[in-house]
Amino acid sequence: MLRFSFKSNNCFVSCFSSYVVICIKRISSYVRSTTMGEMLKQNCSILSKFKELQLM
């Protein structure tokens, strides 16, 4: 649980520093459509994809 929370916090930190508007929209939609745990995992995977695109 601690490791998962730590990773999720890192995702949100990088998220709000780089993709504030996109993240707020996606987080609000995930809160409505999924449980909190699933929302965190999906958000992390989306962020990693965004970072890959940013590097290209």
pTM above 0.85, yes or no: no
Domain segments of the chain: what residues? 2-55
pLDDT of residue 27: 72
Confidence of residue 41 (pLDDT cuts 50, 70, 90): confident
- Beta carbons within 10 angstroms of residue 23's beta carbon: 20
Q: How far is CA 44 from the centre of its chain?
A: 4
Question: For the chain, first and last CA: distance in Å?
Answer: 33
